[in-house]
Every structure is written in C-alpha cells, then in structure tokens.
C-alpha cells in the first residue's frame, strides 16, 4: 500500500518537474518547516495593524489551511504582472502540501487561536488563515505563503507573503495584498 506521504511527494515532484521544463532554472522548493514560524505570522499581524485592525479583534486558525485554488494562485500571478490559468497547478500544489501548526507561542501578536473557521460561531469575528508554504510558479527563486482574513469566512482580503532563500536561510518579504476578494 502506498503511503499518503509517498503519493504527495510524487505529486510535488511532478509539479516541480513541470515547472522546471517551462523555465531555465528549477523552481525553489518551499521550506519544509515543522511549523509556520512566529515571525511570518507576526508579519501578517503587523500588516493588519497598519491597516487599522486591532489584534485583539482577530482570531487565527492554528493550523495551515488548503487556501491554494486556481483563483488564489492566479491572483498571486497578478502581484507579479502575470495572468495565466493555473487551476490544475493549484490542485497539484494543494495535493503536495500538508497542514502544519502555526508557531503561535513564538509570535508577539496576541492571537486568539481556533481549531477551524466556523461560519456561524465566527460570523462576527475577523478570522485569519494561512496556507502552507508553496513554490511561487511566477518567480523561480521564491516560495511563499497565502493568508486570508475574513469576517467569519466572508468579505475576505487575501495576502501573499514571499519567501526567499539565501545560504540555506529563509527570509520573509513584504506582505503583499492580493487582488482577490470573496
């Protein structure tokens, strides 16, 4: 019996090889962290505070969520001035990623953690969700994380957090708003 990890690894390798065929340099592999780092989570918190949202009014889903869709990935492309259909690619990316916990104990933001977004229970709360790290199909030396802030699952604002690697260390870029709203 083939394990789920082996299937996901094979799917991700297929995705990476497809990207490599379409470009000169192979794409960067997303970080394989055991948890989403506190400084990355704090970067989104700081962005939201700069937009006038108090962290006391925010709740965060404590594990990464499958936010990568054709529409959200296409919106990442718009950040880089590209517009392509990426629905199949998004499906492969989601299949290749696994959920991971957020390092909320390493975060300086006073997040209130929840297990999952419940549209009824969280209908009047600002809920933040993060994706697992993915390769950026539009920039070959970049990975990133998507973040979605919504009012109980509605009226969403999306963000892209670029990640770059140098000498084996990952750095967090400027949190970029995406042109996707639900």
Rounded to whole angstroms, how far apart are CA atoms 173 and 130?
Answer: 15
Domain span at residue 143? 4-181
Question: How much of the chain, in percent, has pLDDT values that exceed 70?
Answer: 85
Parallel/antiparallel/unpaired status of strands 154-166 and 176-181:
antiparallel
Is residue 17's pLDDT more than 80?
no
Average pLDDT over residues 18-34: 70
Exposure of 181 by Cβ count < 10 A (0-12 exposed, 13-18 middle, 19+ buried)? exposed
Give the pLDDT of residue 77.
92
End-to-end CA distance of the chain: 40
Is residue 182's pLDDT more than 80?
no
- Count of domains for the chain: 1
Give the pLDDT of residue 3.
52
Q: Which of 65, 40, 45, 55 is nearest to 129 (CA)?
A: 65
Average pLDDT over residues 39-50: 94
User: What mean pLDDT is reported for the chain?
Assistant: 85
- Are 76 and 146 in contact, with CB atoms under 8 Å apart? yes
Compute how many other C-beta atoms are within 10 angstroms of the C-beta atom of residue 131.
Answer: 23
Rounded to whole angstroms, how far apart are CA atoms 142 and 134?
Answer: 9
Average pLDDT over residues 172-177: 95
- pLDDT, tens digit (0-9, with 9 covering 90-100), for 53-76: 887 778 999 999 999 988 999 999
Q: Could you tell me which residue, 83 or 102, shows the higher pLDDT?
A: 102
Q: Which tokens sit at 90? A: 């998004």
Average pLDDT over residues 107-129: 88
List the beta bridge partners of residue 143. Answer: 135, 163
**How many CA atoms are closer than 13 Å to the CA of 165, on its beta-carbon side?**
17
Is residue 10's pLDDT more than 50?
no
């Amino acid at each position: 019996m083939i394990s789920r990890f082996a299937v996901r690894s094979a799917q991700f390798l297929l995705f990476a090889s497809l990207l490599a065929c379409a470009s000169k340099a192979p794409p960067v592999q997303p970080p394989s962290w055991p948890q989403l780092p506190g400084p990355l989570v704090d970067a989104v918190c700081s962005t939201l505070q700069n937009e006038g949202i108090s962290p006391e009014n925010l709740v965060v889903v404590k594990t990464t969520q499958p936010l990568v869709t054709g529409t959200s990935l296409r919106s990442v492309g718009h950040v880089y001035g590209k517009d392509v259909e990426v629905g199949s690619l998004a499906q492969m990316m989601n299949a290749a990623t696994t959920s991971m916990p957020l390092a909320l104990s390493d975060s300086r933001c006073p997040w209130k953690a929840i297990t999952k977004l419940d549209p009824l229970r969280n209908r009047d709360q600002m809920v933040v969700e993060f994706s697992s790290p993915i390769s950026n199909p539009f920039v070959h030396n970049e990975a990133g994380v998507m973040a979605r802030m919504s009012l109980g699952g509605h009226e969403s604002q999306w963000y892209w957090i670029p990640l770059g690697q140098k000498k084996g260390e990952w750095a967090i870029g400027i949190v970029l708003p995406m042109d996707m709203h639900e």
